[in-house]
A and B are shown apart, each in its own frame.
Chain A
Amino acid sequence: MGEKRLPDFPEETTSTTNKVVITVVGKDRIGIIAAITSCLAQCRVNIEDITQKILGEYFTMILVGDTSQASVDLTELRRRLNHVGEEIGVTVYLQHAQIFQAMHRI
């Protein structure tokens, strides 16, 4: 009997060099994810992870994005996301992932 090979799982990278965390909070409504993700697509930010939760009428979404191919810098990206957030009535926070690495990992 030949050795059983485990399927190849791509190794998850823990590097945060080009990673950003985008947090969206506000009242739930239709189209929040669509609006935010299309803004990210326009800025060429690749979404690597996304999680959302609705508590009562409140919506929170956390996105991890890769900015290595981004067409704009962080300041501009934040400006655009804030603009989209204002249009749909949610607050958007953009932070480089390294701050979470520093605070929550030894």
Chain B
Amino acid sequence: MLFDRAEILETLRMLELENLDVRTVTVGINILDCRGESFPTTIERVLAKIRRITTPLEEVTEEIAGKYGIPIVNRRVALSPVALLLTGKEGERVVELAHQLDQLAQELSIDFIGGFSALVHKGFAPGDHLLVDSLPLVLSQTERICGSVNAASSRAGINVDAILRMGGVIRETAEKTASRDGIGCAKLVVFANAPEDNPFMAGAFHGPGEADCAVNVGVSGPGVVKEMISRHPHASLGELAEIIKRVAFKITRVGELIGREVAQKMGIPFGIVDLSLAPTPQVGDSVAEVIEAMGVERCGGWGSTLALALLTDACKKGGAMASSFVGGLSGAFIPVSEDAGMSEAVRLGALRLEKLEAMTSVSSVGLDMIAIPGDTPEEMISAIIGDEIAIGVVNHKTVGVRLIPVPGKRAGEKAYFGGLLGECTIIEVNPFGGGKFIRRGGRIPAPITSLRN
């Protein structure tokens, strides 16, 4: 036989029982060639280009999912950062663009369109000002549009003015979606070192260095990793690293196979596979449960950072062997509301905001999908973002912050976002703020790369 029984049954078990799936097929599209003489013309061209490229997406992904018996959970589109299209004089028409994109997404069965983004790590151009100002309206009035702001990079330093402003944008977006626990903020990420080929939302955009279009793929698989670890309760941590590496290889190969085939069928280039382990609110599909399967009593307890470091590194090693083109965020996601185990750990008080921050220094994303009290002052939100961004900039890694102040609710109460966004207990925020510090504003210079600490 071409494959032995054990191999075939292992694959089936991963797919049927352990929630292995392709989390997202994301088509990146450059829209910078869509500028027209007037903004309405630009909007028309943007819509036409997206329509032209993504019309076959639904049919192709369904066909391929059927062929291999693997679910493809999300179909998404990532656009060039929309701020690059703007002169700053478009006014309310930017919101109109978002509405039209939202409708188009619905029509073409695209789950999310990312790219309402601005790259302001060194400063704001007029288009960036307009985009950032429009975010609260865009995120509260549309369902499927995601935005992001890159506020820092290891080469350019940290734009504290941008961070300061994003605290306000986040508060305003939450208040505009107060009836849904501030869900607008679930579609907004503040980045340091944002990747240009990230297929995952809310932070996906099609970077200026990318080709005209590309297919990028994100796989899932915390359930598979957890089951494999559970089967080896007495393995040493060195052995565990090897076991995780092997699983990561298999998971990534699935992503690569699907990505290449989708790209070929759609007639556009294949970009990258993102190796990230992406959890869902479903029990058994959780990164927290992976950490607990390794032996940490509760995610957030002592040992969690070490366990996450081992997990992330082993995933990268296995994944890098499996695919020639790895990109995006590529690590283990630890989004609180989207991961049933993380959410439970917060409820129990095992996982605190400070520990989450520590864990992000060894994983890939950042402070992700964390519900905070609705009355957290905007400067305090900015200071939290600043702390997280410092970790990214100094360590030359990507970090993103997706905080959700839940209007009218306090720490310990529950926030509900629904679907893949999940639900979670609102986390306690250290009341000693850094407002005066962050209000100084300005830019923090890029860190030195020699004299490493």
Contact = CB atoms under 8 A, between A and B. Distances in A.
Contact of B254 (A19, A60, A103): A103
Interface string B1-38: 11101011101100010000000000000000000000
A97 B8 CA distance: 9
Contact of A102 (B5, B9, B66, B256): B256
23 contacts: A60-B5, A62-B1, A62-B5, A75-B63, A78-B66, A93-B12, A95-B11, A98-B68, A99-B70, A99-B254, A99-B257, A100-B2, A100-B7, A100-B8, A100-B11, A101-B2, A101-B3, A102-B254, A103-B7, A103-B250, A103-B253, A103-B254, A104-B7
Interface in B212-271: 250, 253-254, 256-257
Contacts of A74: 66-67
Contact of B2 (A16, A60, A75, A78): A16
A43 B16 CA distance: 26
A64 B67 contact: no
Interface residues of B, number: 21
Interface in A71-87: 74-75, 78
Interface in A1-51: 14, 16, 19, 21, 23, 49, 51
Contacts of A101: 2-3
Interface of B: 1-3, 5, 7-9, 11-12, 16, 63, 66-70, 250, 253-254, 256-257
Given A60-B9, A96-B68, A14 B1 contact: no
Contacts of A49: 1-2
With most chain B CB atoms within 10 A of its CB, the pick from A23, A78, A99 is A99
Contacts of B250: 103-104
Contacts of B257: 98-99, 102
